[in-house]
Structure 1
C-alpha cells in the first residue's frame, strides 16, 4: 500500500477530524438548442470575488477548501494556457494559509475537445492539465481530487444523455466510465511524479443507496447492478475489476476489452483518502414494486431521507472496500437555516461517533460555502434567481443592480463552533 512509502505524517494521519468547506464548481460550458452553459463561478460571481470568498472560509474556521479549476477557461485553445485568474486565487490561498483540495475536474471539458470525455485523447489532455497545474502551484497545492464524482460524470454523460457527449445506455456508460478512469490514473501518476511524496490524492465519489422493494422481481437485477456500478470507476482505477467482478460481463458486452482491464490492473492508483459525497435528502433512492422509474436526473426515483444511518453506511462501505481513510467530502441539506443546523449537528456527531468506533474518518465538508444555482438552470430560460438553492453558510443575495452579496447566516456560526472545538461537543443549544 502507498501508505507504507511515506516518510512524513500527512494531515490525514494525525487522528484529528479536519473541517473543510467547498465552493460549488460545476462547469459544463458546452450548450445546444434548449440548453445554457453552466459555470457556477460565473453564476455566483466567484470570479470577481475570489479573494474575499476564500477569506470567508478562513473566517468561519475551515482548514481546507475543496476548490475547482475551470479547465475550459485555463485552456481556451489547444496548446494555449491562461493561468491569470487561477494565479489570483492561488496567491490568496498562500496569503491566508488556507489549504486547497484541488478539484481538477468537476464536470466539463474545454470547448475545443470534440466528443468531450469520449475523445480518445481525453485522458492525455486531462493529465497534461493536472500536471501543469501541479508544477505551477505545487508549493501551496499538494492535495488533489483528479475527478470529482466520476460515476456521476459517467451517468450524466454516458447513460442518461443529459450532458455532453450525450451518450446513452450501458455501452455509453462503459465508454465514458473507462475513459474517465484512464484519465484519473494518468493524472494521478503525472502529479505524483511531479510532486513526489508531497502529493496526496483524495478520490471522491457520490454515495448511492437503494432501498424499498429492492427484492421485487422487476427490480432485483437492476438494484444489484446499481449497487456494484456505484463503485465502478474507483474499482477500475484501483485495478480491482478482475475475473470475478460482478460487472465484468456487462463491461464486456459494452465493448470493454480484456486488454483495457489489464492496463488498469498494471497501472493501479490508490486514494490516500477516499472521499464520499452524501446528501441525506438525495443519496438514497426508493424502489417501489410495480412502479417503473428510469432513474437519472430528469426521471429520478423517489428519495428517502436516511439521515445519519445512511451516512454511516456509505462511509463504512468505502473504508472497507478501498482500505483508506474516509472523508465526508460533501454534505448539506437544501432548506431553512434550522434544517441546515440540524443536519450539520447530526452529521458532525455521526462522524465523531464513527471515529470513536474505530472507523478512520479524517474530515467533514459542508458544501457549499455559499448558496449555488441548481443544474436545472441549464434547461431553463428563466432568471438564475429561480434556481437558487439555499445550502450555504452565506446566503447569496442579489441586489437591484445585479451584484451578489454574501450574507452570513447562523449556519456559519455553527460550523465555526464545530470546526474550532478542541473536543467533540454535544449539540449546541
Structure 2
C-alpha cells in the first residue's frame, strides 16, 4: 500500500522553488532558493517542516545548478538535502521542473533537444536516489510555464501568441511524458507520480463578447495534462486548435498511444488569484503585464476545482498549493476553512489524500525579476514562518499560522490513530 492509499488526509508543505536563471537587459535572475537563502539554511528549513508535523514536502531541484553543462552533474549539495529528508522521515515529492532550464540549453523549452534533455535529467535523479526517493512531479504547473514562456513573452524563450503557446505546450508535454516513462523504468512499481497544475476559473461575463475566448481558455487549463494522459484525440475540443497552431500529429499520436497517468492529481489554488473575473471590453494580456481582474470565491472555488479534477482524471486528488498573502490572522482563517472543506469532501467520498500549505516560509514575488528594488520590496507574506532581514541574513520567525498548521496536521493523525 502506498501513502495515498492508506485512507488518511496527509499534510505537507512546500518551499517556493522557481528558477529562471537566464537574463537579458532589464531582468535579474530569479532563483527563490537564492532569494530566501535556502541554499544556506536548507538543513534547518527541513527541520521546520518536521517541527509542524508535515509528512511530506513538495521540494524542487535547481536543474540548472546540478547539471551545469551537458552530461555533467554536481550532486554535492543535493546529496545532503536528500539525506536530511531521510533523517527526518519527511517524504519529498520532488519537483523536477518548477520553471526554468539550464543556461547551456539555448532556446530553453524551444530547443529541439529539450524533451530528451529533460528526460535524461529525470532519469539521472531517479537513478541516484532510487533507494530513498519515489515521488515525483515531472513538471509543476505546465500551463503557467507555457503561457509565460510561449504566449506572453515574459520568460525565456520569450515566444508570443497562439503559435508560441502551442509550441511550448508541445515541448512541455513531450518532456513530461518522457520524464515519467524514464523514472518508471528506473523505479518500477515503487514510483508515485503527483501531477500538478495551476487551476484557473472563469466567472462573470462568460457569455458576453469574450465567450469564445473563455471556452478556449477553459479547455486550455487542462491542455498539457490532457495531452500526457492521452486524451487529445478524436473529438477532443482542443485537437483542431492545436493542429492549426503547429502541433505535430506524430507527437499527438505518440502521447495518445503511450500515456502517463497521475497516481495523485494535484491542484494549486489561491483564492485571491485563481478565479478570473471576465468583463466585457478589452481582453487583458495576462500574467504580470496586463493582469485580468480576479474574484475571491473562497472555499467554493476550491471545492469546484477539486471535484473537476477528480472527475476528469479519475485519480486521488491533493491540494498541492494553497495559501493567502495576508496577515497571519487571515492566513489562519483560510487554513482552517480550507482544511474543514477537505474533511467535508472526504466525508462525502471524494478521494482527497493531501493538503499542502505553500510556502513553508515567505517567498519573493516573481516581479522581482523585472524590478530594481531590494529583495525586501518583493516579499510576500505567505508562510508559516516569516522571513526577517537581519545583519546575519534572513531569519525564520515562527508565526501563528505554523501553530494552526501543526494543530490541524497532528490532530488529523491522532484522530486516525
TM range (shorter): over 0.9
Q: In 2, are the aligned partners of 1:99 and 1:140 still within 8 Å (CA)?
A: no
Cα separation, 2, equivalents of 1:266 and 1:89? 37
Deviations, residues 272-319 of structure 1 (Å, cap 9, x unaligned): 000000000000000112343222232111010010000000011111
> Residue 122 of structure 1: CA displacement?
0.5
Q: Which of the numbers 365, 368, 376 marks the counterpart of 1:374? A: 365
Are the counterparts in 2 of residues 352 and 424 from structure 1 also a CA contact under 8 Å?
no
Aligned match of 1:416 in 374, 399, 406? 406
Cα shift at 1:29: 0.3
Q: Counterpart of 1:333 in 2: which secondary structure?
A: coil
How far apart, CA to CA, are the structure 1 residues paired with 2:144 and 2:376? 25
* Counterpart among 231, 256, 260 of residue 251 in structure 2: 260
- Contact (CA 8 Å) 1:23, 1:369: kept in 2 or not? yes
Q: Which residue of 1 aligns with 2:274?
A: 283
TM-score of the pair, normalised by structure 2? 0.98
1-side partners of 2:405 and 2:99: how far apart?
A: 27
Relative distance call for 1:424 and 1:160 in structure 2 (3 A) is farther
Shift of 1:172: 0.5
Separation in structure 2 between the aligned mates of residue 145 and residue 295 of structure 1, nearest angstrom: 26
Q: How does 1:245-256 map to 2 (within 5 A)?
A: 245-256=236-247
- Equivalence for 2:187: 195
Counterpart residue number, 1:387: 378
Aligned twin of 2:52: 60
The range that moved more, 344-353 or 247-256, is 247-256
Tell me which residue corresponds to 1:42: 34
Pairwise CA distance, 1:259: 1.7
- Aligned position for 2:300: 309
Q: 1:358 corresponds to which residue?
A: 349
Offset from partner CA, 1:206-239 (integer Å, 9 cap, x none): 01100000100x2100100000000000000001
- Could you tell me whether the CA contact under 8 Å between 1:214 and 1:223 is conserved in 2? yes
Question: Equivalent of 1:132, from 103, 108, 124?
Answer: 124
Question: 2:226 pairs with 229, 235, 239, which one?
Answer: 235
Alignment: residue pair count = 415
Shift of 1:402: 5.3
Asked if structure 1 preserves the Cα contact closer than 8 Å seen for 2:288 and 2:367, the reply is no
CA distance in 1, matches of 2:257, 2:278: 38
1:293 counterpart SS class: coil
1:178-193 equivalences under 5 Å are 178-193=170-185
Shift of 1:424: 9.7
1:422 to partner: Cα distance:
3.6
Q: Give the conservation status (yes or no) of the 8 Å contact 2:9–2:412.
A: no
1:249 Cα deviation (Å)?
1.8
Counterpart check, 1:294 vs 2:270? no
Ranges of 4+ aligned residues in structure 1 off by more than 3 Å: 422-425
Query: Which residue number corresponds to residue 219 of structure 1?
Result: 210
Distance 1:328 1:414 in 2: 17
Which TM-score applies when normalising by structure 1?
0.95
5+ residue gaps in structure 1?
A: 1-8
| Cα distance in 2, alignment partners of residues 329 and 356 from structure 1 | 20
User: Is the alpha carbon distance of 1:423 and 1:109 closer, same or farther for their aligned partners in structure 2, counting shifts above 3 Å?
Assistant: closer
Question: Which whole-Å CA distance do the structure 1 matches of 2:215 and 2:414 have between them?
Answer: 38
SS at match of 2:300: helix
